[in-house]
Amino acid sequence: MRILPLIAVAVLASSAGAQTSSAPSATRSSGSGVYSAEQAARGMDVYLGQCRSCHVPDAHASTTFQSVWNGRTLAALYSYLRESMPKSEPGSLSDQEYLDVVSYILRLNRMPPGDADLPANVEALKQIRFEMQPIPVRKEP
Amino acid sequence: MKKMLLLAAALLVAQSQEPRAQQQTLVRGNVPGEWRFWGGDAWSTRYSPLDQVNARNFDSLEVAWEWKAGAFGSDEYYRTTPLYANGRLFTVATTRRIAAALDPETGETLWMWRLNEGIRWQKAPRQFAGRGLSYWTDGANERVIVVTPGYHMASLDAKTGIPDPKFGKNGVVDLMEGLGMPLVRLAVDDSGPIQFSDVYPPRAARPGEGWDPVKKIGADGTIGIDPKYGQIANSSPAIIVNNVIVVGNSAIHGYYPVRVRNIPGFIRGFDVRTGKQLWTFNLIPQPGEFGAETWEAGSKIGDEGVGKNDAWATYSADPDLGLVYIPVGMPLMDEYGGHRPGANLYGNSVVAIDVKTGRRRWHFQMVHHDIWDYDTPMAPNLMDITVNGRQRKALAQTTKQGWIYTFDRATGEPIWPIVETPVLQSEVPGEKSWPTQPIPTKPAPYSQQGLQEQDLIDYTPAIRDSALKLARACRMGPYYIPAQPNDENAKNGLRCSWYAPGASGGVNIDGGASVDPETGKLYVASLSGLSTIRVQKDPCSEFRYSSPRDNCGKIGALPPPPGYTPGAAGPGDGFAGRANASRIPVGPNQFVSILKPRELGGITAYDMNTGDKAWWQPNGGYLPKLTVDTGLFAGVDIAQQPGPGQAQIMTTKTLMIYGTGRNGLGGAPGQARLYAVDKATGQQVGAVRIPSRTTAVPMTFLHNGKQYIVFATGQGLNTSLVALKLPDR
């Protein structure tokens, strides 16, 4: 189990990431290819093994989900998952597994992959906004 | 049923080499050296008398074969324990729950069967491979019984996989029939699965409605119970006792439903040869039946608050007594019972049913009016023990709540006193929590229960103060602490309660216990965590309170109320903050639990002749050590804490063998292990690397003179069964 140099966001409020959400200084959009397809595939495996028994993927790309997370940072999403999930044993996954799940959630929300994995560093994750992209309407030929 | 396609017997291999079923001496319903029941035998001992694999050679085990279940479709995590009977290995796989027979020596697929269930599969609340199958033989015929996600039951010829034409209709019984609820044509308004708990459900089709193959909506011809009654499902195999198939049902998840009524649990008996329904036992007693009065607002199907009490776990049986033992789950809505005042029989009970008549012999309710999601999560373990010089036919029921409840399995009399004890009462408006709960005096619990001051770390006065400050942020107590309301009704401003064990136990279906019938020992694998719980109003649910959730905008939910703001309730999945308040941050990704480390969780061995603990082992034999050089913990020797995960154990002649489960440590590729422990002492005597972590309890059998150990692993498209054996000489 690889330990990554993540700087923990020690949020003890029960609403967790809600208190650390907005980050006006975040400079990158989650829609700019911030994760890799390989990472999202790993994240899907973790999701199916650890999350799917209580969540369905559709729920993590729902209007409600997006209304909560849109505009907040990936650091907040990562920290929320790490501190709250899985419900029976929060914090029991590796840092890499939590990060991979974040990338899978980005894929669920139709954000395109790029060349590299998400940065394994909370400070760097603070610079990335969860930003919903307008879904292009495909015109019939 | 017209649209159901039977893709039967796609592969029929080695017919000429098939072994013949033989009448053999059965021990607890099983041929010694085989594994004919999910729990190893009818008593759910998970015990095998085999000893070819032992402490001397365990570390030399090697992979004999790997059967790639993912080649046939995706799954969640692969939660199946296969069966071995009369020379074949039987398993289920994928979200479609295909049934298959394998050559135990090579892993070659002998046959495969699946059913196309249309909308019934699409909207099945338990869309996964399931726990396994059931096996039956009369010496001449052999059958494999599979219950599908869409709630059909098929009887397959164990030799060929071909459905038995004498069973039901062409080998299949539609389990949605015979429950007293009308069947209608089903339709869907979306192409996805049902979501937790009951949003995006199917509906009754409109007259003349057809199927849109592009949008994948409409009516596809599938018939099922009218969705206005709710949803029904299946997770676990039936059990076959004295030629009767005993089958129950599963249900929606109870986390945050939007409808205050749903389908209850049923137990039914079917003739194993014909599929004829013999009897039905209502797990929510209907008006006039014993126990109906425990539903003070009414128990009739369709009444407000009525639903679930489903026996979703596996079952045990004593063929000699003719009794089947049913562990029953909880009523509708996990953490709020305001719509169902009363004790809510047979919720959270173990019920002994006569397999011949379907009548209750005895029952015991372990949690009255459950508001903690304490389903009875596992088949009870049957064992013969000697207590105070008296031989007892016992039943040990492990539970989410951390206690073992032990009974005389013939009469239901507790082996050790179980005392009705006053417990904390709810502050949630409309909730009528039960004033007492039955507390076993023995054996001692195997998991952390509740949170009290004496449970907190106290390495230094400052550390104790820090832990106490965190602890007092939520409602404390010894056990059964009701959820606090997350609103102005919370007294003292406490908007959360400590929750231990949590919804996953304690014991849960992934782990559970194993019996050594020779010594009377019971080995219990469990979690021991600490989290928090609270309830609040979901603005688009019929429930007055539920686990924090916002279901607005989803198909099946109520319309949003005036002034509704999306996302106002927070991150939206109801488990936020369940544990993050129980740890003191001490550095980068480092936390110290406020709980004193104790020998809880992991694996606890009990001598059930005395009811005393015999030994304890952490899951994976691993106790993480944390060193903090600065701040509050500078210079403090922090005690080692048991690691996470739910061990998955079985017992052989000399060993207790286990995998760590999907959350156990050592999960990176190449690091997962299967462990062997001296079952008498608890000392680890072996650990062998396996391709990836176990995801279900392993099993073992002797085939052509060689002992094999088989376990499921993986998730998604990476699921497989792995067989281990000793090297050939």
For residues B373 and B335, the answer to whether their CB atoms sit within 8 Å is yes
Q: Is residue B79 part of a domain?
A: yes
| Rounded Cα gap, residues B466 and B632, in angstroms | 9
Alpha-carbon B284 to chain mean position: 20
Angle B647-B726-B158 from CA coordinates, rounded to 5°:
75
Contact of B571 with chain A, judged by CB distance below 8 Å, is answered with yes
Four-CA torsion B466, B468, B469, B472, nearest 10 degrees:
160
Contact of A120 with chain B, judged by CB distance below 8 Å, is answered with no
Contact of A76 with chain B, judged by CB distance below 8 Å, is answered with no
Local confidence band at B15 (pLDDT 50, 70, 90 cut-offs): very low
Residue B569: the pLDDT is 63
Alpha-carbon B723 to chain mean position: 24
Burial class (CB in 10 A: 0-12, 13-18, 19+), B510: buried
User: Which residues, at least 6 apart from B318, have a Cβ–Cβ distance to it below 8 Å?
Assistant: B42, B43, B325, B382, B393, B409
DSSP states along B30-83: B-TT-B-BTTBSTT---B----SS-TTTGGG-EEEEEE-GGGG---SB-----E
Q: Do B575 and A85 touch (CB under 8 A)?
A: yes
For chain A, domains (ranges, CATH) are 35-129 (1.10.760.10)
Q: What is the DSSP letter of B220?
A: -
CB-nearest to A84 from B496, B577, B714 is B577
Q: Do B531 and A90 touch (CB under 8 A)?
A: yes
Number of folded domains in chain B?
1
Contact of A61 with chain B, judged by CB distance below 8 Å, is answered with no
CB-nearest to A52 from B76, B529, B587 is B76
SS3 (DSSP) at A62: coil
- Give the residue among B45, B36, B224 at the shortest CA–CA distance from B145: B36
Q: What is the 3-state secondary structure (H, E, C) of B323-371?
A: EEEEECCCECCCCCCCCCCCCCCCCCEEEEEECCCCCEEEEEECCCCCC
All residues of chain A having their beta carbon less than 8 Å from the beta carbon of residue B527 are 88-89
For residues B26 and B695, the answer to whether their CB atoms sit within 8 Å is no
Q: What's the Cα-to-Cα distance from B646 to each of A17, B291, B362, B600, B660, rounded to whole Å?
A: 28, 35, 31, 12, 6
Q: What is the DSSP letter of A49?
A: I
Does position B6 have pLDDT exceeding 80, yes or no? no
CB-nearest to A68 from B200, B527, B567 is B567
Residue B666: the pLDDT is 54
| Rounded Cα gap, residues B322 and B457, in angstroms | 50
All residues of chain A having their beta carbon less than 8 Å from the beta carbon of residue B714 are 49
Percent of chain B with pLDDT over 90: 85
* Mean per-residue pLDDT of chain B: 93
User: Which residues, at least 6 apart from B27, have a Cβ–Cβ distance to it below 8 Å?
Assistant: B41
Q: Is residue B13 part of a domain?
A: no
Q: Is residue B12 part of a domain?
A: no
Q: Is residue B28 part of a domain?
A: no
The pLDDT tens digits of the residues spanning B617-666 come to 999 988 877 888 888 998 898 888 787 889 999 999 999 999 999 888 75
Tell me if ipTM is over 0.90: no
CB-nearest to A90 from B571, B579, B585 is B579
Does position B2 have pLDDT exceeding 70, yes or no? no
Please count the residues of chain A.
141
Structural domain harbouring B228 = 37-562+569-725
For the record, the structure tokens of B155 come out as 């009887």
Alpha-carbon distance B566 to nearest alpha carbon in chain A (angstroms): 6
Contact of B662 with chain A, judged by CB distance below 8 Å, is answered with yes
Contact of A71 with chain B, judged by CB distance below 8 Å, is answered with no
Does position B670 have pLDDT exceeding 70, yes or no? no
Contact of A58 with chain B, judged by CB distance below 8 Å, is answered with yes
Q: Is residue B2 part of a domain?
A: no
The pLDDT tens digits of the residues spanning B554-573 come to 999 999 999 998 766 655 44
Q: Do A14 and B715 touch (CB under 8 A)?
A: no
Residue B4: the pLDDT is 41
Instruction: For residues B471-478, give the mean pLDDT.
Output: 96
The pLDDT tens digits of the residues spanning B76-129 come to 999 999 999 999 999 999 999 999 999 999 999 999 999 999 999 999 999 999
The chain A residue lying nearest B190, using CA atoms, is: A58
- Give the residue among B583, B545, B255, B590 at the shortest CA–CA distance from B429: B545
Q: Is residue B97 part of a domain?
A: yes
Instruction: Write down the residue that tokens 């029929």 correspond to.
Output: B12
CATH code, domain with B478: 2.140.10.10
Q: Is residue B1 part of a domain?
A: no
Q: What's the Cα-to-Cα distance from B203 to each of B146, B198, B265, rounded to whole Å?
A: 26, 12, 21
